[in-house]
Amino acid sequence: MTEAALSIAGLNVFLRRNGSDHLVLDDIGFEAMPGEIIAIVGESGSGKSTLGAAIQGLLPASNEPKVSGSIRLAGTEIVGAKPSVLRAARHSLVRAIPQDPMGALNPTMTIRRQLRESASGNDGFVRDWLSRVGLADADVILDAFPNRLSGGQRQRILIAMALMAQPKVLIADESITALDFALRGQVIELLRKIAREQQTAILFITHDLTAAASLADRVLVLYGGRILEVGRTDDALKNPGHPYLAGLLATQFDFHTDRQHSLPTLPVERMRLADPGNACCYASRCLIVGDQCINRRPELAPLSATGHVAACFFPDLVQSSVAQYRSAELWPTTTTLKPVDVLLLSDVSKSFTSTGRFGRRGSRQVLESVSLSVALGECVALLGDSGAGKSTIVRLAAGLLKPDSGEISCIDDAPQVVFQDAVASLTPWLSIGEQIGDRLRPLPLGKAERLHKVVKALEMVGLDENLMSSLPASLSVGQCQRAVIARAIIVPPKLLLCDEPISALDVSLAAATLNLLDEIRRRLGMAVLFVTHDLAAARIIADRIAVLEDGRVVQQGDPDAITAGFNRLSMGTILTAIPKTHASTGGRDA
């Protein structure tokens, strides 16, 4: 029998946070065969990225990790291995596409030098891989430093770095969240081809169920550090056996979602469990919870002959629970305001100058004669491919860059920005509570009132107040994104600039964030510029959509009219037409 590329058994991981040990991964066990693609899905904080780090032997030393169980990479044991064994494994057996593209690249080195060091290849080899991940202008890319590239371009460079090494196991941690729809399809097809041709086992860590449906052979659902469901992709996503996966599917939004009502989301915690270790970890939020769920921990049990298993006492009731996620709450009425433009760009152009090889200087036009306005109480979504200039407009509007020509008018002296790279926008040595509360300093508030406002801001974005004392490094990327949003809205600005604010969030939290942003701007008359590559999100939240292409606004108008041509990408369509072109390797279930 073919040896598993990855075999995990009885894996437990404790990490020390805020002075105590926390069980982050609880009795994890599964195998990935050569050429198999497994989607690891679940909410932010469920343990997905920790699992990826454990497989690489890269758990953060600052959290004093305690690991038990077994992780075998092509027969090599990782748990308890010597540093030399781990280094050798990371060189030839396992590579990762990290979630944070800016943090993973060296800001002092050109892309050319970093790619050569990663793959020890010549320029022709490097250029070929840049082309395969959709980066056509190789000379500009290779001579650039990371800060001169968009988030999507940086993400594709990291994908190329990982794939060049031809590893036995590839861990793709939210590897397509920064990419537009067209590039997502291209990267998904590339990953499928790599798995098939190189027999690389791929762990596709994601919160994007649409991407999981179109790529993976199997889906593994992680929540609270436990495996709740595993099954063939078509079986699990069409017939979920656990209420958690059913809830994730029910809260997925697409081009057919009702724009008049708030989006359905997963329930918040509805009870406190006396003994979380001896109960279903999802019991406190479950809509079909029973006494067994609170007093006994469910084990994975078979649901079908295809190897579909779920850890639920009531799998027959799962489908009936979906109807409870339909929202009947209308959006609040927008505060009546005079039609005043908070932000106005008139014929704005911007280019960047870079120094290439042998000291040659070149100029790249990023924006050309862009005119755009956002009024009080209005949300304008700015759509465009990666590298189209969306983030540059955000930085110009925030006053972080100056235009080469044209005029920018903003009536808000201090517009707030929710940046795409949430981790980099937080100060690493300050606690989350300190950073959120910093915007309250100019206000005449007492200590208790200040603390209350910080707690309420955390609650509004779905973060527990216990995270106030945590440093950014101990939070997931999704949690950092929510903390950045809380910091921006704790004192509501006249203009909120959102640069891909939901790209790092799972579907339920993305829906909750859209609900939150829309409610705040409607009630307070706040202007919002919402930069995104998510067409469905743009349609739901925006009053008007502007499409940016090659630095020019090529289309503006009603959200339904703009997105009408993309209905084929809806969740329902994708789930009923899951591609069968990738090889099924018959990997063993958990």
Tokens 């805020």 found at: 18
Distance (Å, whole) CA 505 – CA 509: 6
Last residue of a domain, one of 116, 136, 166: 166
Secondary structure element (H or E) that encloses residue 117, with its range: helix 111-119
DSSP per-residue letters across 401-430: S--SEEEEEES-SS-EEE-S-TTTTS-TTS
DSSP H helical ranges for 525-575? 535-541, 559-563, 571-575
* Number of compact structural domains in the chain: 2
- The answer as to whether 490 is a domain residue is yes
Distance (Å, whole) CA 587 – CA 590: 10
Distance (Å, whole) CA 417 – CA 346: 21
pLDDT of residue 580: 36
CB 416 within 8 A of CB 497: yes
Q: Is 502 helix (H, G, I), strand (E, B) or coil?
A: coil
C-alpha distances in Å from residue 326, one per residue of 288, 317, 368, 509 = 16, 17, 43, 16
11 strand-pairing partners: 28
Helix and strand totals (H; E) in the chain: 21, 21
Last residue of a domain, one of 166, 184, 208: 166
Residue 561: how many other CB atoms lie within 10 Å: 11
pLDDT of residue 338: 60
pLDDT of residue 152: 72
Tallying the residues shown for the chain, one arrives at: 590
- The answer as to whether 577 is a domain residue is no
- The answer as to whether 428 is a domain residue is yes
Kind of pairing, strands 37-41 and 66-73? unpaired
pLDDT of residue 590: 43
- The answer as to whether 248 is a domain residue is no
pLDDT of residue 571: 35
Kind of pairing, strands 301-302 and 309-310? antiparallel
pLDDT of residue 7: 97
Secondary structure element (H or E) that encloses residue 234, with its range: helix 233-238
Give the angle 369-375-378 at the CA atoms, nearest 5°: 115
Which domain CATH number covers 376?
Answer: 3.40.50.300
pLDDT under 50: residue ranges of the chain = 358, 567-590
Residue 301: how many other CB atoms lie within 10 Å: 12
pLDDT of residue 270: 64
pLDDT of residue 361: 61
Q: What is the pLDDT of residues 453-509, one digit of tens each?
A: 999 988 878 788 888 988 988 887 778 888 998 999 898 889 999 988 887 677 887
CB 416 within 8 A of CB 438: no
Secondary structure element (H or E) that encloses residue 87, with its range: helix 83-92
Q: Domain limits at 380?
A: 341-565
- The answer as to whether 46 is a domain residue is no
CB 484 within 8 A of CB 504: no
pLDDT of residue 231: 95
Tokens at residue 5, please?
């590329």
pLDDT of residue 202: 96
SS (H, E, C) 130-189: HHHCCCCCHHHHHHCCHHHCCHHHHHHHHHHHHHHCCCCEEEEECCCCCCCHHHHHHHHH
- The answer as to whether 476 is a domain residue is yes
pLDDT of residue 577: 36
Residue 151: how many other CB atoms lie within 10 Å: 24
Last residue of a domain, one of 149, 166, 183: 166
CB 499 within 8 A of CB 463: no
Q: What is the pLDDT of residues 241-298, one digit of tens each?
A: 999 999 999 888 887 788 878 888 888 776 666 667 789 999 988 989 999 999 899 9
- The answer as to whether 444 is a domain residue is yes
- The answer as to whether 336 is a domain residue is no
Q: Is 576 helix (H, G, I), strand (E, B) or coil?
A: coil
